[in-house]
Chain A
């Protein structure tokens, strides 16, 4: 099954809507709750990252029998140093994003902890691509 979503930068009202819908679908098809939780936490963090940092973005999700594959692409400032961004506590988030309860430099490390495969590529002033995979039969 394939699902696609459009994400608007700065739209904190709808942030998490895609993750919420994917959570409901995973529940419906009977995936184990712990695996659903890992998947949607990673997806939600990545979705919030687009809202927090980018101008706009898209999410493409393939739900297969054995795994879920998620690609989040955005147009925005990009990440200059991905290794640095993967470190806990490093953040470039705005005061507004911090006021919302995010932007403490925990997002990418938390995504890494909750996925089986993670690949982040980025070009400064163009955008970022986050590719994640979670296996469903662990």
Chain B
């Protein structure tokens, strides 16, 4: 029997029972739609979270004092570990594939200026910070590349701090007091928004040496390194490790590459997406049971027809193929309908709730359709085998 004919006969059988077939394939459609919708939301969240992290660049490598095996970030409090120093940071600048290096000294301090006071997060860094974290200056300029020891007392304000202290006035050239030290404003950063609930604009940047002075600190909290685009972070990370071990005598620091962090995060989010997809899969299973039911009924109803097909010279495998084909056609159509439904719903959610990220990758779509077809195949096997094994004499006797 020709393929096209088998397919045509299967489709004829499906269209002969429109309502019944529609309801059956609706079961599969709802299952596929649930899987597509849930995984779309999962994937959307995945992309959103990774996007949040990669806005700082994907090639950042950080070194922190102290050997931590659990990878937490330091609290900003001085620790008893041997600190990393400004010299350590400078020594990394000439390593291969390193684009920029900045020390990072953090602390909280009161900023007074224009007759107002605000407590804010102070970063002690150098001129390279915008390169590493992809920040842009809105007005004025970032910290100049002064010699670290004698860096001038300049400050660059985050947009939030600037607004709170100066409103719409021009802050450039104004004097500020940060925790008792005097600074002159030379620039304002472009707003960066929030990152996991932290306001990235409620900050002020001062030279690292000034921050050490301000917070009475020997070392730095962190050294941030930007590696060349396209070079694996692990290569650069091991070069950094080698250099710092050579300087410190042993490994008393921790290196975290963003690449690694993103990979771990991505894995976690993938598992999450698969988990919600599996939840949707339960309704797909129910849809599959619906196909088994309807195909079993179809075999009972068409017993006489099966007998006829045998009498007309159809081999068993043709009868098997006809009923299997019918089940697969039902589930494939249902799957297709489910794809449209799921994708449509995802888009509606995207428009109605723009805050909820939704993304439907093509691979999910193809996978879902494949799953639908395999479910049809699995669901059709039992009824189709029953059909193929009928005794033709008995089958022809039923009306």
A, B: real partners: no
